[in-house]
Amino acid sequence: MEKIFYTYLILTENNTLYCGYTDNPQERFKKHLLGKAAKYTKSHKPIKMVYLKSFPSKSDAMKEEYRIKHLSRTQKEELIRSDSNILNKE
């Protein structure tokens, strides 16, 4: 079974969006909550994961993370509402 990778956006308590990639979204979010995943989310408390998209390779997920980090806030909000967001299908 091949590993699936994900790119995600987390909404923080000060209404900012943090972007990252992982192979285990649930565990990664738990680490963010504990302040053990990234310096940014250690000082900007995560509220919830608002965007999640799967990729067949780590490289693809990292490329999407890079692309998302260069989007405007408005473009990120459009992405959150888009059909590509796995969380919109649950």
Average pLDDT over residues 14-35: 97
Asked if 46 contacts 66 with a C-beta cutoff of 8 angstroms, the reply is: no
Whether the per-residue pLDDT at 81 is higher than 90: the answer is yes
Q: How confident is the model at residue 33 (pLDDT cuts 50, 70, 90)?
A: very high
In this prediction, residues 70-75 reach a mean pLDDT of 98
Q: Domain coordinates of the chain in residue numbers?
A: 5-89
Q: How far is CA 84 from CA 6, 13, 14, 38, 89, in A?
A: 12, 24, 25, 25, 9
* pTM for this entry: 0.94
CA distance linking residue 39 with residue 75, whole number of Å? 24
Assign 65 a pLDDT band (cuts: 50, 70, 90).
very high
The class of domain 5-89 in CATH terms is: alpha beta
Inter-CA distances, 8 with 26, 52, 79, Å? 11, 4, 11
